[in-house]
Amino acid sequence: MKTLLLYATKSGAARECAELLAKELTDCTVCDLRHAIPNPELFDTIIVGSGIRFGKIYKPAAKFIQQYKNVLLTKSVSFYFCNCETETFQNAVEKNIPKELPMHADCIKSFGGKMPFKKAQNMNWLKTENKDAFLKAVLPDKEKIKLNFKRLTSAEDAMYPAAMALYAMSFPAHEQREEASQKKILECSQYHFDLIYDGNAFAGVILYWETENFIYVEHFCINPKMRNRRYGQRALEWLGKKEKTIILEIDPPSDDISIHRKSFYERCSFKENAFSHVHPPYHKGNTGHELVIMSSPGTLSPEDYESFHSYLNHTVMNGLFPADMP
């Protein structure tokens, strides 16, 4: 994962913090925003740091944020600020950063700051606890995250209601199976209803079909209370260890949310396929809905797509309404 760490400084505090953070980050490029910077689109994670003076972040940082707002919304992004007065921090965030970005950001912290025109030794102004919390959010300690998976095979499982509640809140109604259909496919050997845990904490679900040649991820969602910890990325990395082509579908990228979702999968090494694809309807009376095929590690050949499309129609969607089956 490539990180771009940008800063704007006058007293040198934001630069010192950037240097401190860079020591903890791998594959990190550090740049002063007063000078030329690399293309932000080439990075997975972007960190922006700035001083605050008179309630405003420094101009190079403000200009960058405004210019690249739409790019930042497709990346893992975090902000840190160096300011002496704690009460100015939140006001500066609200007044200087477009409102979509704080909601999207992994972390926003004040690191404290130097008093103007005074020398500070050994960074004794730094709020170490805020810096440590920032690093934990930006780059979670892999040793502390114990991701594990439990396959659920029956609707009688004690976790089934919680898993289905997350499923229901994560997808629009037209993209959800009817209850009878969902319970029925748990009996299918190729269907995996896997619960994702961090230790004992329920983090999400990944529902997929595994064949000899490929894996089709039908539904995948992370608990909103546990997002921004890279659980989604790590779950897909775990699936990739099966060394099979992974296929999934996303909404066509037409708004900030769908564009962000596509960018997430691209950061996880998925490629967009050009096939015109319509997913069959989950409910009687509905029509199919157009989706974009993403696959990893590469794109699908026409033969691969036809094989998947046939499997989708004749296996995944077969017996969709079991109550009506003869």
For the chain, the domains span 3-138, 147-324
Distance CA 40, CA 33 (A): 12
Answering whether pTM is above 0.85, one says: no
Domain range 3-138, CATH architecture: 3-Layer(aba) Sandwich (3.40)
Q: Rounded to an integer, what is the distance from CA 166 to the centroid of its chain?
A: 17
Q: Rounded to an integer, what is the distance from CA 321 to the centroid of its chain?
A: 33
Q: Do 147-324 and 3-138 fall under one CATH topology?
A: no
Helix (H, G, I), strand (E, B) or coil at 152: strand
Half-sphere exposure of residue 44: CA atoms within 13 angstroms, side-chain side: 17
Of 6-20, 106-120, 229-243, the poorest mean pLDDT is in: 106-120
Let me know: does 211 contact 192? Beta carbons within 8 Å.
Answer: no
> In this predicted model, what pLDDT tens digit does every residue of 2-46 receive, in sequence order?
889 999 998 889 999 999 898 888 778 999 999 999 999 988 889
> In this predicted model, what pLDDT tens digit does every residue of 248-307 receive, in sequence order?
999 998 888 888 889 889 988 899 999 999 999 999 888 889 999 999 999 999 999 999
Supply the pLDDT for residue 40: 93
120 — pLDDT class (breaks 50, 70, 90): very low
In CATH, what number does 147-324 get?
3.40.630.30
**Pairing assessment for the beta strands 56-57 and 45-53 based on DSSP bridges:** antiparallel
Helix (H, G, I), strand (E, B) or coil at 95: helix
Distance CA 268, CA 261 (A): 11
Averaged confidence pLDDT in the chain: 87
Supply the pLDDT for residue 1: 66
Q: Which residues contact 145 (CB under 8 A, 6 or more apart)?
A: 198, 229, 234
Q: How many CB atoms lie within 10 A of CB 242?
A: 12
